[in-house]
């Protein structure tokens, strides 16, 4: 394995060496283990919601149980940047009183969830996992945070991510890499790394992620949970630190399709001050999720099935066999629009360079080294002409893409064509010190090859677990449809989960587990 220098090690680990201080004010040892009641924390969001409604558990009991589990297990996963324990318990106490009075705000009443740390929270720092924003404290909540608080969701804290959401591995963070709960030496996928790990590790009942090239679906797939990137503009992104604003989405990550549907129902709505928000009437996604799928015609675009690792290919083939029996069948004739030519479309849009240029000029060394290299290329490359043309091309693709669904209802494909790499190998690749193999040119280790087109298309796309490798690593199936087809996408995912049990598997975490070394420093 390629070795990193001690200087590189320190730069890549960033503030992680001191991250334990964030947990110091919360119960540790036996006290935390006593609070971490697995009977409560292993419930799905839907089960927890029902338990609160029938008063068999209180919001405070749920919150204390999850905070206890965070104290025990997050030092192994590094999924949280900031734990908002006091604020969460204060919210829970108020929601307890409403529960006693029989006043329920909705299905999220009293449910502890967590937010990716690029989503603004008033009075609590929002860092985007970067040294650039290590002391940034917003004065207002993001629109989506206000909506979720109003619906009764309890905010547990802020989750780790790939710095500024600029990567699909989840290992480049000022606060250190997040670890995969299924194998602590593996990446979670990114950029919503902490969101994937926290949900899979039962450190929250659901989480918010953002998705610009796959950042909800990649960590959901590699962590063995469900994650949905909604239609562009369906969920407000105002108050979220941008990655590339024209491609940014915010969506739910949870343990089942039903949980995702419950979350989505509380997240949508037009935001007049969000320039990307679109008008769309409210939908009952839990009802739409239960519609019959037997008449659905599915497409499996061949280009999304190239160069899969063998175990991924086997799991996807088995999943497609199940889907073909549940529906009207699958055809490989599913011509989705070609992606913009070249590998610089993300750069040509200019959204990322526009946001970061003033920050970069002021403190370039505050960025992690791989991020700094990316931004140098973005800021130096591309012109106003390139940006204008790229935005025009993006608008045209989004306006015409639904025509691809004239003869089919939905498309299905592997979420990621390969299994997650180790953190060590991924960091070596991020720093350019890993010698590539021939196969690396086909199986991009970032994992975003299949997911990124749907951010360009602006279409809803869901990932769900569909199998495991022989070494116990999750494999994901992606389901996508035309604009505002969230109901159908969720319905097919729900039907698949009713027919299989992959989503019921949980990683094995124990209090005495010792995480392996992050890198081999020299």
Q: Per-residue pLDDT tens for 171-228?
A: 999 999 999 999 999 999 999 999 999 999 999 999 999 999 999 999 999 999 999 9
| Number of CB atoms found within 10 A of residue 14's CB | 21
- Tell me yes or no: is domain 6-504 CATH 3.20.20.70: no
CA distance linking residue 174 with residue 13, whole number of Å: 6
Assess contact for 288 and 260: CB atoms under 8 A.
no
What angle, rounded to 10 degrees, do the helices at 257-265 and 486-499 form?
150
CA distance linking residue 425 with residue 442, whole number of Å: 17
List the chain domain ranges: 6-504
Each of the 522 residues of the chain gets a pLDDT tens digit; together they read: 344 544 454 455 554 433 333 443 455 455 655 666 889 999 999 999 999 999 999 999 999 999 999 999 999 999 999 999 999 999 999 999 999 999 999 999 999 999 999 999 999 999 999 999 999 999 999 999 999 999 999 999 999 999 999 999 999 999 999 999 999 999 999 999 999 999 999 999 999 999 999 999 999 999 999 999 999 999 999 999 999 999 999 999 999 999 999 999 999 999 999 999 999 999 999 999 999 999 999 999 999 999 999 999 999 999 999 999 999 999 998 889 988 865 568 888 999 999 999 999 999 999 999 999 999 988 987 788 989 999 999 999 999 999 999 999 999 999 999 999 999 999 988 887 766 554 444 444 457 999 999 999 999 999 999 999 999 999 999 999 999 999 999 999 999 999 999 999 999 999 999 999 887 544
Residue 493: what are its φ and ψ, rounded to 5°?
-65, -40
Contacts of residue 262, Cβ cutoff 8 Å, sequence gap at least 6 = 45, 46, 49, 107, 108, 254, 285, 286
- Choose among 411, 486, 494: nearest CA to 450: 411
DSSP 266: T
List, by residue number, the catalytic residues.
116, 191, 215
Q: Which residue has the tokens 């849009």?
A: 349
Residue 175, CB half-sphere, CA atoms under 13 Å: how many? 32
pTM, 2 dp: 0.94
Largest CA distance in the chain: 64
């Amino acid at each position: 394995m390629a070795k990193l220098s001690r200087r590189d090690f320190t730069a890549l680990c960033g503030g992680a060496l001191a991250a334990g201080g964030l947990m110091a004010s919360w119960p540790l040892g036996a006290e935390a283990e006593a609070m971490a009641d697995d009977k409560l924390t292993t419930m799905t969001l839907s089960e927890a919601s029902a338990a609160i409604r029938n008063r068999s558990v209180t919001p405070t009991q749920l919150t204390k149980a999850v905070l206890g589990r965070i104290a025990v297990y997050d030092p192994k996963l590094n999924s949280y940047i900031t734990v908002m324990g006091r604020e969460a318990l204060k919210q829970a106490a108020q929601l307890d009183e409403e529960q006693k009075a029989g006043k329920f705000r909705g299905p999220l009443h009293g449910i502890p969830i967590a937010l990716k740390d690029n989503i603004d929270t008033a009075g609590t720092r929002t860092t985007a996992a970067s040294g650039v924003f290590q002391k940034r404290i917003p004065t207002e909540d993001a629109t989506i945070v206000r909506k979720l608080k109003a619906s009764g969701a309890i905010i547990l804290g802020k989750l780790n991510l790939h710095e500024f959401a600029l990567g699909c591995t989840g290992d480049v963070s000022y606060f250190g890499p997040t670890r995969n709960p299924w194998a602590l030496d593996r990446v979670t996928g990114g950029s919503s790394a902490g969101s994937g790990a926290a949900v899979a590790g039962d450190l929250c009942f659901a989480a918010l992620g953002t998705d610009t090239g796959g950042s909800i679906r990649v960590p959901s797939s590699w962590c063995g949970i469900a994650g949905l990137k909604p239609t562009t503009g369906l969920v407000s992104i105002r108050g979220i630190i941008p990655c590339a604003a024209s491609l940014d989405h915010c969506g739910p990550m949870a343990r089942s399709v039903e949980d995702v549907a419950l979350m989505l129902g509380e997240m949508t709505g037009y935001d007049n001050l969000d320039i990307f928000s679109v008008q769309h009437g409210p939908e009952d996604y839990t009802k739409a999720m239960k519609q019959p799928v037997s008449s659905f015609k599915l497409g499996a675009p061949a280009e999304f099935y190239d160069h899969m690792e063998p175990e991924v290919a086997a799991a996807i083939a088995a999943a497609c066999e199940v889907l073909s029996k549940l529906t009207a069948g699958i055809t490989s004739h599913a011509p989705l629009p070609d992606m913009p030519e070249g590998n610089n479309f993300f750069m040509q849009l200019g959204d990322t360079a526009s946001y970061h240029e003033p920050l970069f000029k002021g403190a370039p060394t505050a960025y992690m080294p791989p991020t700094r290299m990316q931004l140098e290329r973005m800021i130096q490359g591309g012109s106003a002409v390139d940006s204008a043309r790229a935005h025009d091309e993006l608008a045209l693709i989004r306006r015409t893409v639904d025509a691809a669904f004239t003869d089919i209802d939905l498309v299905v494909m592997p979420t990621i064509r390969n299994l997650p790499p180790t953190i060590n190998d991924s960091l070596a690749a991020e720093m350019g010190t890993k010698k590539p193999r021939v196969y690396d040119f086909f199986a991009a280790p970032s994992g975003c090859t299949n997911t990124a087109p749907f951010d360009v298309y602006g279409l809803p796309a869901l990932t769900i677990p569909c199998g495991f490798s022989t070494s116990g690593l999750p494999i994901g199936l992606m389901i996508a449809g035309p604009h505002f087809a969230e109901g159908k996408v969720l319905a097919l995912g729900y039907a698949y989960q009713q027919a299989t049990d992959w989503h019921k598997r949980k990683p094995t975490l124990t209090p005495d587990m010792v995480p392996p070394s992050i890198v081999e420093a020299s």
